[in-house]
Structure 1
Amino acid sequence: MMLGIISSIVAGMCMSFQGVFNTRLSDKIGTWGTNVLVQGIGLVITVAALLITGDGNFKNLKTSNKLYLLGGVLGAIIIYTVMRGIRSLGPTCSIAIILVAQLTSAALIDAFGLFDTPQIRFGITKLIGVIIMIIGILIFRYKC
């Protein structure tokens, strides 16, 4: 569990830095140029990690749900839309909205047990938490 918490913290920090770095780079080379460069660098790093760790079994790809291959498409959309959001709203507001959207999407996936995940109840307390986050974004964005 602790490894999951630490991994999530690192992921959140990296996503914030990546969003800002990508946005600044896109100011110089364009949004899609940045997306290609970032995805290309990511490909090189992940191929190296795959070769070093040996953690890959592509034989099982045949039996995998083909819908899950859209992860690469979603990655390109994510990089593009994060840059657009940060450019328009600034890092804090954009990432706060992203967090609420992620939390809401994840809650729906859990609540309905979508994509082979175990079904987890989404109760009123979780709904209140999301509403409080949205109120926080509105206060931050329009009252400061």
Structure 2
Amino acid sequence: MKGISFALAGGFFLTFQSVANATISEGIGSWQAAAMTQLTGFVLAILIVLILRDRSYRQLTEVSPLYASGGMLAAIVLFTNMTAVHIMGVTLTIAIFLIAQLVLAIAIDGRGWFDMSQKRIGRTQIVGVLMMIVGVIVLKL
């Protein structure tokens, strides 16, 4: 239940962030909005680390450069998300983002990429993604 709660909260916050970033980018530009979002997120994360007195940051040198590049990927996610919201609106953008995430997640789970444990991918997962794609087509009508 705890995992579901965090996933729901993440989904809600992603949607709020998409709307806020698209609105901000209209005034200052998409890359500037992405930079501002990354900076404010960094500040909040540092504050939380300080409040929790979590000292695990001392192990940062042990993080693979591949995985440390996640922040750079986030900047691209922010830019593409803002641009898509401007073109298609929030609902369609989030729906297509979710499908893209699921397709890649299925590939990662099925292949065990990025040090993830390999999971069996069956027809039900594929059918679920296909149903989401049909749902997006219905949304688009």
Asked whether the two chains share a fold, i.e. TM above 0.5, the reply is yes
Residue 111 of structure 1 corresponds to which residue in structure 2?
110
2: CA distance, partners of 1:107 / 1:55: 33
Matches within 5 A, 1:46-57: 46-57=45-56
Count of aligned positions: 141
Distance in 1, Cα, partners of 2:66 & 2:36? 25
Task: Measure the CA separation in 2 of the matches of 1:98 and 1:125.
Answer: 20
Shift of 1:56: 4.1
The 1:37/1:63 distance shift into structure 2, 3 A limit, reads closer
Matched residue, 1:20: 19
Q: Give me the CA root mean square deviation.
A: 1.1
The corresponding residue for 1:80 is 79
| Whole-angstrom CA distance in 1 between matches of 2:51 and 2:66 | 28
Query: What percentage of residue pairs aligned between the two structures are identical?
Result: 37
What is the CA-CA distance between 1:70 and the residue it aligns to?
1.3
Summarize deviations over 1:16-42 as a string: whole Å, max 9, x none: 010011001111111111111111111
Counterpart for residue 122 of structure 2: 123
Q: Which residue does the alignment assign to 2:35? A: 36
TM-superposition CA deviations, 1:63-97 (whole Å, max 9, x none)? 33221011011110111010011111000001100
* CA–CA distance in structure 2, aligned partners of residues 107 and 56 of structure 1: 34
Give, as a single letter, the amino acid of the residue that structure 2 aligns with 1:39: Q
Gaps of 5+ in 1: none
Cα distance in 2 between the residues matched to 1:28 and 1:46: 26
Quote the offset at 1:61 in angstroms.
3.0
Q: Match of 2:90?
A: 91
Distance 2:55 2:95 in 1: 34
> Which range moved further: 128-137 or 62-71?
62-71
- Aligned pairs for 1:2-21 within 5 A: 2-21=1-20
What TM-score do the two structures reach when normalised by structure 2?
A: 0.95
